[in-house]
Chain A
């Protein structure tokens, strides 16, 4: 809690802060998984990829721990208004973070599956997508702990960059496959990797939406435009 207020609820405040700290820690784990999976892809490091796949269980466990802390807080402290919205938002955020870690682990699995096949092309836009994802996650979690709804709104707009990059990657890989169908499997590996990052961007947008809900009490979708037809889900 950034704001100093009368402290008749110091144990509630302490529990809320612990939940937020754990959420930030979970955000760092997700950030490392995204960064690591990209490095594993670029450097074809299967050992690193395996580490990331294995590490996903820790993220899942932390998510359940945080959810349990949220439930215990609701049952024992009866939070209302802003406190209640914070706890509910935190429960949603950790769900999104957990899914992001799954997508990062998905990219590590792609590295394992590619075996020794060389990359179809040098990585340019995919690392850019990963960079934007990572800033969105970091900034939206900061906006959460600072109760900064305005910042959350700006973060959601960053998802457009990810979507733009994804479309670029999609078109480029499609042209490879059309020109030479033998490249299809290698193109699809990269397309799946880009797709996972695109999903991570959507999840980061969800976090920004939760921050806005927490600060304003209004539940609203920030990027409500319909999905592109080539979306793989």
Chain B
């Protein structure tokens, strides 16, 4: 089970302020290595804000301030001295809407390695692109279309291409922010299958509004909710199976049985 696994990320007393207002409060969470952790909770409870702290995506927002510690392999990633580009290579993100570059399929996957000087010789790059597309369960579908524009792919394929693009730079953690909300049910299930496959090598954290998705696709579930002071916090964490069959907190029960609000 998830708990027996080694911690990949340890979040300690994390609080996030936007323009002085507390948005996420006192979150402590252990994210186990090579497991899928789902963050669930109603809109506006700080799930995405929290997720974005894990690879410093909130940095460009000047009014955002973070307190507390986030340890990635025991090293704090919140400090000013942290190389954010390298952090984002290690901790990649997949977004709600597939966002491939308007270039060829190949160029999309090759982009990261080229920018980061990981491309090597042409044959090595081609190999890396193929490996990444294979791991993203997309190779068979696009191997004859590598020079086609990525925007010609279906949305589900585009999302898997974005995952392949991220895999090409050898990340350790994959953050997913509602990765299936723009996809149809079959494309959604393909992403979920892929997540399961990827969790053998990578640590995955997913934010989802789809509770059945969290139930199907994750090992661990963290329930977030607005507290009385209007800041979001984690109210319950546990193995997904436990959270969806016998949650401890009444608010979790109400949310996952659809009786919230």
Contacts and interface: CB of A to CB of B under 8 A. Distances in A.
Interface of A: 5-9, 12, 78-85, 216-218
A85 B245 contact: yes
B261 interface: yes
- For chain B, what secondary structure do more than half of its interface residues adopt (helix, strand, loop), or is it mixed? helix
B255 to A, nearest CB: 9
Interface stretch (B18-26, B88-96, B246-254): B246-254
Interface in B188-235: 211-212, 215
B261 A81 contact: no
User: Which of B212, B259, B261 neighbours the largest number of chain A CB atoms within 10 Å of its CB?
Assistant: B259
A81 B260 contact: no
- For chain A, what secondary structure do more than half of its interface residues adopt (helix, strand, loop), or is it mixed? loop
A75 B211 CA distance: 15
B212 A81 contact: no
Contacts of A82: 246, 253, 257
Given A5-B259, A7-B259, 18 more contacts: A6-B260, A78-B212, A79-B257, A80-B211, A80-B215, A80-B257, A81-B246, A81-B247, A81-B253, A81-B256, A81-B257, A82-B246, A82-B253, A84-B244, A84-B245, A216-B246, A217-B246, A218-B246
User: Which of A9, A81, A82, A83 neighbours the largest number of chain B CB atoms within 10 Å of its CB?
Assistant: A81
Contacts of B254: 5-6
A8 B259 contact: yes
Contacts of A6: 254, 259-261
Contacts of A85: 245-246
A5 B260 CA distance: 9
A12 B244 contact: no
A9 B257 CA distance: 8
